[in-house]
């Protein structure tokens, strides 16, 4: 099941009227977002930026995108003193990280909600595919209803535990040669909750957050491969084999996260996978670090050769 996106920001009113309204559907419905988006920016350039919570450990320059076409993804620097367009190229290796089942135990919290609210009892081992309607033996419409009720519950806002080892590994990676970003399929309706959760558990580690808006009740969606290609992410860490195959076919390296080999849905088909050599299965965050250490020199050398050739 897909998950969600954001546009917390400030911009000059003129820029909001011309640009932000075309991308941020919350501007028409949420007074808070509308007020933030139409605030006068201290910057001399017409651009919008995201708020940077003081709780972030390394006070990074955070960017987020939750709508529009892949070509419209903004490169925006968002520190409090410098708001301007920023190129997405970086000397560090850019790695995209999924949220659910990679950073947090979404299914664990969802199963608790289903049991408490509907008397439905499921464990992680029951999900042979990450499509809830098929697991719950119900219509897609009813499945969507249950999930969006879950989004409104404390099970979602406060009950998603982190994946063991993720914080420690990501802290080491962020201090090395890697630039970490989030690329999630989550929907726009839970974008603020998602950012709050990331701030609480992984504050200061991610430079950008991108939302695909998959399985949403409204709004456009974007492929993960499109987002990764546009923002220059060379590696995606994801638990979903469909996204892994999609990105590998687009030439993006994937670390397919199958925690302790216990994710039934996180298995590649025996045949028919394009560029299968670009997909490596990892079973914990220690293995993520090991695989990235092997990949980094190859990818950086390839990028240098490409730049020399151009």
Instruction: Just list the catalytic residues.
Output: 98, 100
d(CA 140, CA 223): 20
Q: Can you tell me whether residue 278 is helix, strand or coil?
A: helix
Helix (H) or strand (E) holding 79: strand 76-79
d(CA 92, CA 28): 38
Do 63 and 207 form a contact (C-beta atoms < 8 A)? yes
d(CA 155, CA 174): 29
The full DSSP string for 95-146 is EEE--BTTTB-HHHHHHHHHHHHH-----GGG-SSS-HHHHHTS-HHHHHHH
Angle, CA of 102, 73 and 80, to the nearest 5°: 85
Do 132 and 118 form a contact (C-beta atoms < 8 A)? no
Helix (H) or strand (E) holding 17: helix 13-18
d(CA 179, CA 297): 15
d(CA 47, CA 167): 32
Do 93 and 299 form a contact (C-beta atoms < 8 A)? yes
Helix (H) or strand (E) holding 280: strand 279-282
d(CA 167, CA 291): 17
């Amino acid at each position: 099941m897909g998950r969600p996106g954001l546009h917390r920001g400030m911009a000059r009113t003129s820029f909001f009227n011309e640009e932000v309204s075309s991308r941020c559907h919350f501007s028409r419905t949420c007074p808070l977002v509308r007020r933030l988006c139409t605030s006068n920016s201290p910057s001399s350039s017409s651009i919008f930026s995201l708020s940077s919570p003081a709780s972030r450990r390394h006070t990074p320059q955070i960017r987020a995108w939750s709508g529009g076409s892949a070509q419209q993804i903004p490169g925006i620097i968002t520190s409090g003193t410098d708001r301007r367009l920023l190129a997405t190229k970086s000397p560090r290796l850019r790695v995209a990280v999924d949220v659910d089942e990679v950073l947090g135990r979404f299914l664990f919290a969802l199963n608790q909600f289903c049991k408490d609210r509907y008397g439905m009892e499921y464990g992680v081992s029951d999900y042979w595919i990450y499509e809830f309607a098929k697991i719950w033996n119900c219509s897609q419409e009813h499945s969507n209803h249950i999930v969006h009720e879950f989004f409104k519950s404390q099970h979602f806002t406060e009950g998603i535990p982190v994946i063991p080892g993720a914080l420690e590994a990501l802290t080491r990676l962020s201090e090395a040669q890697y630039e970490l970003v989030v690329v999630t399929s989550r929907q726009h309706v839970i974008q603020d909750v998602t950012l709050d959760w990331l701030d609480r558990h992984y504050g200061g580690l991610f430079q950008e957050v991108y939302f695909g808006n998959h399985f949403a009740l409204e709004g456009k969606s974007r492929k993960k491969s499109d987002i990764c290609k546009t923002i220059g992410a060379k590696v995606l860490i994801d638990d979903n084999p469909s996204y892994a195959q999609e990105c590998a076919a687009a030439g993006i390296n994937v670390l397919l996260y199958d925690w302790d080999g216990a994710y039934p849905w996180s298995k590649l088909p025996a045949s028919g996978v394009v560029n299968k050599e670009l997909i490596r299965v990892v079973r914990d965050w220690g293995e993520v670090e090991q695989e990235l250490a092997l990949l980094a020199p190859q990818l950086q050398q390839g990028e240098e050769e490409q730049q020399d050739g151009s």
